[in-house]
Amino acid sequence: MTAKSRSRRKSGPGVRRKLEPPRKVGIIGKPHHPRIKEVVAHLLKRLDELGVEVVVDRSTATGRAVKTRRSSNLTGSGAQMLIVLGGDGTLLSVARLVHAEEIPLFGVNLGSLGFLTETALEDLDAALDMIWKGKCLVDERIMLEATVKRGKKRAGPYLVVNDAVFNKGALGRMFEMETAVDGADLTTYRADGLIVATPTGSTAYSMAAGGPIIYPDMEAIVITPICPHTLSNRSLVVPDRVTVEVRIRSSEQGIHLTLDGQTGLGITSRDLVVIRKAASRTMLVRTPNRNFFGILRQKLKWGER
C-alpha cells in the first residue's frame, strides 16, 4: 500500500493529522520576488543543519550553486512537504500543480493578506523548529473540479482550491444563469455573476460578495450570486457531495469562467458547466500557535476600533 492510499483511507475533509518531520523537502516560490534569493539561501542553510534533503523547483532556483546541485521539477520528486514562498495566490497555484500527490504545503507569506500562508517571514525559523519537533498538523481542504460540456465535447476538469466564478468581465452587465443542484432546479440567477466556492474560498471573493464565512473543515459548497437583481437571492450552502450545474441563459458575449482568480475560459449559452468535489485535496501545514479564528481576527481586523 502506498503512502497516498494510506492517506486516503485514514483521512478526509475535516480531519487533521500529525505532520511527521519530513526527510525530503521541496521549495517553490515566486521567481521574481525581490527577496526570493535571500529566503531560499536561508532555507537551504537551515535545512542542511537539520539533515534534510532539499530540492528547489527550477522556476525558483537562484544562484549557480542551487541550480547545479538541487534544481528540479517538484512534481514526482518524492518531497514529503513543500515550502511555498509567496502569497495566497502562489499557494493556490502550487496546490493545483501538485494536487495528485497530496503533498503537505507549508506557506511562507511574502505577500500582503496571507489567509492561507501559514507563517510570516519573521516567524519562519520558529515554525521550522516546530515542524521538526513534530508539533505541527496537516489540515485537509476539499477542492472542486469544473467541467465545461459543449455538446459532445468536454473541457476540463479544471481544479480549484477557492472558487469557480462566472462573470461578465469589464462591462459588468447582468446576465442570466440557470442553476441546478443534483439535477433539481435551483433558480435562474440574474446577476453580475455567480461564485461557487469551497469552505477555504468562503473568505475570498464569496465573502466580498456577501457570502458566509464557512469553517474550513466543513464538508460544504457555497453558491453566492454577485449583485443579484432579486435581492432575496442570497448565498446558499449545500453539502459537498452534490453536483452544481450552471448554464448561461443570456445571449451575452464575453462571459467567463474564472478559476481561483488565476485562469479562465470563455463560455456561451451552448455550454453546461458541471462543478463537483474533486477527488484530490489540498493539504496545509498548520503550526500550533495559529488557528482559524485567530486568522479572522488578525486579517479582518475583528475587535479593533
DSSP track, 146-177: EEEEETTEEEEEEEESSEEEEE--TT---EEE
What is the Cα–Cα distance from 46 to 183, expressed in whole angstroms? Answer: 53
In this structure, the strands spanning 16-18 and 137-150 are antiparallel
Backbone angles phi, psi at 148, to 5 degrees: -105, 120
| Beta-sheet strands, E only, within the chain | 16-18, 24-29, 53-57, 71-72, 81-86, 105-109, 119-120, 137-150, 153-160, 163-167, 175-181, 184-191, 193-197, 220-226, 236-239, 244-248, 255-259, 263-267, 272-286
Cell of 192: 453580475
Candidates 124, 136, 59; CA nearest to 97 is 59
The residue from 48, 57, 88, 123 that is catalytic is 88
88 part of the active site: yes
CA angle 296–91–75, rounded 5-degree value: 150
Q: Which are the catalytic amino acids?
A: 88
